[in-house]
Chains A and B, each alone.
Chain A
């Protein structure tokens, strides 16, 4: 389902130097599989998710999703692919403030062809327990509720793979477990593969598969050795 091979990514620093962030020989996730990727802050988790989502391009290597190499798609091809195949949950929710909860979910459908389905948007809001708040704007929702809307939005287009970037980092502790349960629950129901990254071990312990980015990433290994 997801296959990374020899993926390299480095950033150019303001002083002109090069900062290597990713060097991953191999990383795979099966269809419908749920796994967690643990790594301390700054080790390249977000960068990795961006590379998988086609938001950033790797400097080298293959990023294959469902048999297609995302790294080789044209930019608009990658946009379409992302809209159709991937869901993304952000650490800071990233709901658009001018739109209601329902509209935020619909927004995810707007950019994908043939996916626009208000009925499904309402069902998803119902599923995350927010049907009664569907006409509220993000500013009128608690952070926990905002992240639930984000979960519904990420699933709007019936993706095959859900990428969650520290989804509970900005949620109050009482709600963190609910969010994790919700994400895992809906992914299971919909048969969506889940890659969740976090820097906290407590979330990781609930998953059958736990990878440490420092181990699969050669840059991380070098850094942790030195």
Chain B
């Protein structure tokens, strides 16, 4: 009979106490595993989303950089304001600018540094999802994925067009989660609602022409409509007084303001106009910019910030800071707490074994009388502690994964990260980037680190009772 079996019998004999200590260990490990998994999910997600395919966001010069990043990259929190469309056009070259009426025929001020510039108009909702008014470039110019090298693909249909034969300016594309949750497929129409989720619906309907494949990015949870159609919806033309221009920047265009406003109010109101809204009545929430080279980025940021109409933020830096300053420490605290729970569970194993030492002393003495050495009886107790912790750990692993898997739907919905029972937390390297700091790189690496740590813990908590067993006075205890 092996010592393992003897230890196992001893555990069974104290069934209730063993079950309770195992349970407490299981709970501890479950929490550790869940935190590690969530940690992995969050870091993976941040990593995925920090490769955005663009490296700069240009937005209104009010509100914080973080808020601009959050509502442009993650579609979280409310947009802080608007910048004029003409400012967006400063990122475009003469050829593209010539497509608009009343726009000066020259290269935009920033066009020389710009590889891609995509407008983003926020403010509407489809159910609980954000509606993003943008150009088809969103899915043609941008790439996604950890390496930012994956092209957007359509599970059904196609990208929307600036002006299509069938639907004019009123085409839309849905992110995968939106289509799935709202049960909308290609060919159906959607009516964005204004301002807040469940706000009043616009009269205009957009025809869904495409549904994106899942990307694991926030774009899974957004509906995209043609920016031209967006402007033609009621309330979306911007009264020109709202613009707060930089002193010298767009001054030239300001002169046209009164005329344009007048023209608009006179125009006959059709639900589906065939002429686009004039440039000077348009505004955007932000512009996604990919510079031609990282080398020009800093200079461009300076130039934009100096102009005071808009500010430029580097989203990757903002995300990094967010993670570094908020998410990372919260994770660390959570992890520290759960590790402490495990240690407490370990102590409960110690207490449980130690409490049973008085019954056990007699059994140990009998074994000694049968010829077992001190080392053997000490080992049996130690093995018992290890079995209890590992049993608890195994249960905890299963429970932790079960917990996360059962929350998989919600997690995917909220973060776009798909996670199942057999997904393990990613290795440390991915995470280290975000947390850094010598303090945190040691205790957590991957879930699998939990195992040796627990064996160590078991040996530590088993050691004391084992020594007690080792010391048992046989003659006195028989």
Return the contact of B9 from the options A86, A90, A103, A111 (Cβ within 8 A).
A103
Which residues of chain B come closer than 8 Å to A98, judged between CB atoms?
Answer: 9-10, 12-13
Among A50-58, A166-174, A213-221, the stretch in contact with B: A50-58
- A94-B475 contact in complex given A75-B374, A76-B373, A110-B6, C-beta closer than 8 Å: no
Q: For B368, what are the chain A residues with a Cβ–Cβ distance below 8 Å?
A: 55, 79
| Residue in B13, B369, B373, B478 whose Cβ sees the most chain A Cβ within 10 Å | B369
Contacts of A84 in B (CB 8 A): 371
Q: Is A83 an interface residue (CB 8 A)?
A: yes
Contact A111 B363, beta carbon cutoff 8 Å: no
Identify which of residues 87-107 in chain B touch chain A, using a CB-to-CB cut-off of 8 Å.
Answer: none
Q: Is A153 an interface residue (CB 8 A)?
A: yes
- Total A residues in contact with B, Cβ cutoff 8 Å: 31
Determine whether A80 belongs to the interface, using a CB cutoff of 8 Å to chain B.
Answer: yes
Residues of A within 8 A of B38 (CB): none
Contact of A112 with B371 in the complex, beta carbons under 8 Å:
yes
Q: Does B475 contact A111, Cβ atoms closer than 8 Å?
A: no
Chain A contact surface mostly: helix
Residues of B contacting A108 in the complex (Cβ-Cβ under 8 angstroms): 370-371
Q: In the complex, A116→B371 CA distance in Å?
A: 13
In whole angstroms, how far apart are the Cα atoms of A178 and B475 in the complex? 28
CB neighbours of B6 from chain A (8 A): 107, 110
B359 to chain A, nearest CB (A): 9
**Closest CB in chain A relative to B9 CB, distance in Å:** 4
Using an 8 Å CB-CB cutoff, how does the interface string of A79-102 with B read, 1 for contact, 0 for none? 110111010101000101111000
CB proximity to A under 8 Å, residues B332-387: 362-363, 366-376
Nearest Cβ in chain A — how far from B269, in angstroms? 88
Is A157 in contact with chain B by the CB < 8 A criterion?
yes
Across the interface, which residues of A come within 8 angstroms of B475, CB to CB?
47, 50, 55-56
**Contact yes or no, A103 B369, CB < 8 A:** no
The answer, yes or no, to whether B66 is at the interface (CB within 8 Å) is no
CA distance A75 to B362 in the complex (A): 19
Q: Is B1 an interface residue (CB 8 A)?
A: yes
B304 within 8 A of A: no
Closest to B371 in A: A83
Chain A positions within 8 Å of B373 at CB level: 75-76, 79-80, 111
In the assembled complex, the CB of A195 is this many whole angstroms from the nearest CB of chain B, namely: 15
Interface residues on B, range: 20 to 34
Which residues of A lie under 8 Å from residue B13 when comparing CB positions?
97-98
Interface residues of A in 103-122 (CB under 8 A from B): 103, 106-112, 116
Can you name the residue of chain B whose Cβ is closest to the Cβ of A137? B13
Q: How far is the CA of A94 from the CA of B364 in the complex (A)?
A: 11
Which residue of chain B has the shortest Cβ distance to A53 in the bound complex? B369
B1 near A153 with CB under 8 A, answer no
Known: A94-B478, A107-B6, A110-B6. A157 touches B369 (CB 8 A): no
Chain B: CB-nearest residue to A82: B371
A96 to B7 Cα, complex, angstroms? 12
- Interface members, chain B 445-464 (any A CB < 8 Å): none
Q: Is the CB of A96 within 8 A of B366?
A: yes
Q: Known: A94-B366, A98-B9, A107-B6. Contact between A76 and B374, CB under 8 A?
A: yes
CB pair A88 B9 closer than 8 Å: no
A58 → chain B, closest Cβ, in Å? 12
Asked if A82 contacts B374 (CB within 8 A), the reply is: no
Q: A53 — which chain B residues lie within 8 A by C-beta?
A: 369
Contacts of A96 in B (CB 8 A): 9, 363, 366-367
CA distance A112 to B362 in the complex (A): 20
Q: Is the CB–CB distance between A111 and B376 below 8 Å?
A: yes
Q: Say how far B197's CB is from chain A's closest CB, in angstroms.
A: 62
**Given known contacts A96-B363, A98-B12, A99-B9, is B370 in contact with A55 (CB within 8 Å)?**
no
A-B contact pairs, 21 of them (CB 8 A): A50-B478, A55-B368, A79-B372, A80-B373, A82-B371, A86-B371, A88-B369, A97-B363, A98-B10, A98-B12, A98-B13, A103-B1, A107-B6, A108-B371, A110-B2, A110-B372, A111-B371, A111-B376, A112-B371, A153-B370, A157-B371
**Chain A contact residues, CB within 8 Å of chain B:** 47, 50, 53, 55-56, 75-76, 79-80, 82-84, 86, 88, 90, 94, 96-99, 103, 106-112, 116, 153, 157
Other A-B pairs beyond A55-B475, A108-B370, 9, CB < 8 Å: A76-B374, A79-B368, A82-B369, A90-B478, A96-B366, A97-B13, A98-B12, A99-B9, A111-B376
Residues in B lying within 8 Å of A, measured CB to CB: 1-2, 6, 9-10, 12-13, 362-363, 366-376, 474-475, 478
